[in-house]
């Protein structure tokens, strides 16, 4: 009587019988035992449908496969009710690369697919997702980076490119010369360990961090810093001045923000005015408006995230502000940072780094 329901499904012509862990509360060893019993009792192919309520949705699916299941139901990025379903962006590479299961899957497109689905759903990408997250193959500590430089598999369980991802060297207070050397090499410049240039970049990095800068999530700003140090930087535009105003009428609740920007671009002057939802938005619009005639490709840049952090809050309203911006061109994303006692100045610095980083990358291509 135990398998009567499944036997009825088989007699009814079911192609696959799927076992469902609908509340997501079953453990991997339990999934294995139950799946094995059904597989041994019924000749129809067995599948598994798991949820991630206990954080083992993927592990449960893999346990079912070990017990003889040949069909897995899941979703890209684990989207689903409550805490989500079995995450296929982890399950597929685990089956193919770790368990040797013969499945037909081009995992080199996995990271791209993961980002596409997030964009389609208008959701932020999980940076710490296994295999496809931005930090899945990132390295920060000087000792770690030194080891990766010598033998990458000491800290990387697969080659990142296998799943369409890439190695990322983060820059932070834990950085050593190895971080600097590898980052410069990414730009096509091989620096010698102990060289004046490498030590100079490291010293400048430490000084900026003392002032409140943080480069761990601002690889765009750090790359510009390195380019300047190794004479691989070209000034694409020069600020003459900018001005921001906010006007609000308390009775009508009318509010408007306006920014003007004056630049020198390729020995020409550019002067633009733009309105925005706030002073930073207006400044961003005016800057883009001034640069688009010279660099049309900046239309592809989209501001994905804007974060403000007060650094030394004990100074009250005079505290330094760190602004971190994440930008994207639809394919790649990058972070930039600006620091100042004036939030507008900090935002301007981060905005300029974002655009310069993108345009310099375009030039290299």
Kindly report, residue by residue over 147-197, the tens digit of the pLDDT.
877 788 888 999 999 999 988 776 665 556 777 777 777 767 778 878 888
What distance in Å separates the CA atoms of residue 335 and residue 154, rounded to the nearest whole number? Answer: 27
Q: Are residues 88 and 155 in the same domain?
A: no
Instruction: State the pLDDT at residue 97.
Output: 95
C-alpha–C-alpha distance, residues 30 and 302, integer Å: 47
Question: Is residue 248 one of the residues assigned to a domain?
Answer: yes
CA–CA gap between residue 90 and residue 75 (Å, rounded) = 10
Model confidence at 353, in pLDDT bands (50, 70, 90)? very high
Most confidently modeled of 85-89, 100-104, 197-201, 317-321?
85-89
Domain for residue 84, yes or no?
yes
pTM for the predicted model, two decimal places? 0.62
Residues of the domain holding 165:
138-210
Helix or strand run (H / E) with residue 39 = helix 28-41
Residue showing tokens 């989209």: 302
In a domain, 125, yes or no: no
Task: Domain count for the chain, please give it.
Answer: 3
Residue count of the chain: 365
**Segment 198-202 long-range contacts (CB within 8 Å, at least 24 positions apart):** 200/229, 201/225, 201/226, 201/229, 202/175, 202/176, 202/177
Residue 110 shares a structural domain with residue 148:
no
* Residues 242 and 353 placed together within one structural domain of the fold: yes
Tell whether 249 and 355 lie within a shared domain.
yes
Residue 192 per-residue DSSP state: P
User: Taking 80 as the threshold, does the pLDDT of residue 29 lie above it?
Assistant: yes
- Average pLDDT for residues 63-76, to the nearest whole number? 97
321-328 and 333-340 as β-strands: parallel, antiparallel, unpaired? antiparallel
116 and 162 in a single domain? The answer is no
106 & 148 share domain: no
pLDDT for the residue 172: 60
pLDDT band at 9 (very low <50, low <70, confident <90, very high): low
Q: What pLDDT shows up at residue 185?
A: 78
Give the pLDDT band of residue 45 (cuts 50, 70, 90).
very high
Report for 46-60, 138-152, 240-254: range of highest mean pLDDT: 46-60
Q: Are residues 158 and 114 in the same domain?
A: no
DSSP string, 152-187: GGGT-SS-GGGGT---EE--STT--HHHHHHHHHHT
pLDDT mean across residues, the chain: 87
- Three-class DSSP category at 74: coil
The CATH code of the domain that includes 9 is: 3.20.20.70
Residues 287, 351 within the same domain:
yes
- 249 located within any domain: yes
Structural domain includes residue 263? yes
Q: What pLDDT does residue 318 have?
A: 67
What pLDDT was estimated at residue 1? 39
Q: Are residues 28 and 110 in the same domain?
A: yes
Residue 296 sits in a domain whose CATH number is 3.30.160.270
Q: Based on the domain organization, do 243 and 359 belong to the same domain?
A: yes
Last residue of a domain, one of 210, 229, 248: 210
Residue 233 lies in a domain: no
**Is 341 among the domain residues?**
yes
Which of 89, 120, 151 corresponds to the end of one domain?
120
**Tokens 């994207």, residue located:** 328
| pLDDT tens digits along 207-244 | 888 888 888 778 899 889 888 888 888 899 999 999 99
**219 in a structural domain:** no
Query: Do residues 262 and 347 both lie within one domain?
Result: yes
For residue 213, the SS3 value is coil
Q: Among 165, 192, 210, which residue terminates a domain?
A: 210
pLDDT of residue 237: 94
> Are residues 189 and 142 part of one domain?
yes
């Amino acid at each position: 009587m135990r398998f009567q329901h499944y036997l009825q499904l088989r007699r009814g012509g079911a192609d696959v019988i799927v076992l469902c862990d609908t509340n997501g509360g079953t453990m991997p060893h339990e999934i294995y035992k139950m799946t094995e019993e059904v597989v041994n009792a019924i000749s129809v192919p067995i599948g598994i449908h798991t949820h991630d309520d206990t954080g083992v949705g993927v592990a449960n699916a893999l346990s079912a496969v070990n017990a003889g299941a040949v069909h897995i139901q899941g979703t890209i990025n684990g989207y689903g009710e409550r805490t989500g379903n079995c995450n296929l962006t982890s399950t597929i590479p685990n089956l193919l690369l770790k368990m040797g299961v013969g499945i037909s899957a081009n995992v080199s497109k996995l990271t791209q697919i993961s980002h596409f689905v997030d964009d389609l759903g208008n959701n932020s990408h999980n940076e710490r997702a296994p295999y496809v997250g931005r930090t899945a193959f990132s390295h920060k500590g000087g000792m770690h980076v030194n080891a990766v430089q010598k033998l990458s598999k000491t800290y990387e369980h697969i080659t990142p490119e296998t799943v369409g991802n890439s190695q990322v060297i983060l820059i932070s207070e834990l950085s050593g010369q190895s971080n600097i050397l590898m980052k410069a090499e990414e730009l096509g410049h091989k620096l010698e360990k102990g060289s004046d240039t490498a030590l100079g970049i490291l010293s400048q990095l430490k000084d900026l961090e003392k002032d409140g800068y943080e480069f761990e999530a601002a690889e765009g700003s750090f790359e510009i810093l390195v380019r300047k140090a190794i004479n691989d930087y070209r000034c694409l535009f020069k600020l003459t001045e900018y001005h921001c105003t906010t006007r609000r009428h308390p009775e009508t609740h009318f509010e408007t923000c306006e920014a003007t920007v004056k630049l020198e671009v390729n020995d020409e002057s550019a002067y633009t005015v733009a309105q925005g939802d706030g002073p930073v938005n207006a400044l961003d619009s005016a800057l883009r408006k001034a640069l688009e005639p010279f660099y049309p490709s900046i239309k592809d840049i989209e501001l994905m995230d804007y974060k403000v952090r007060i650094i030394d809050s004990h100074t009250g309203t005079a505290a330094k502000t760190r602004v971190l911006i994440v930008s994207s061109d639809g394919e790649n994303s990058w972070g930039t940072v600006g620091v100042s006692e004036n939030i507008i100045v900090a935002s301007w610095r981060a905005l300029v780094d974002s655009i310069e980083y993108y345009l310099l990358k375009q030039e290299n291509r």
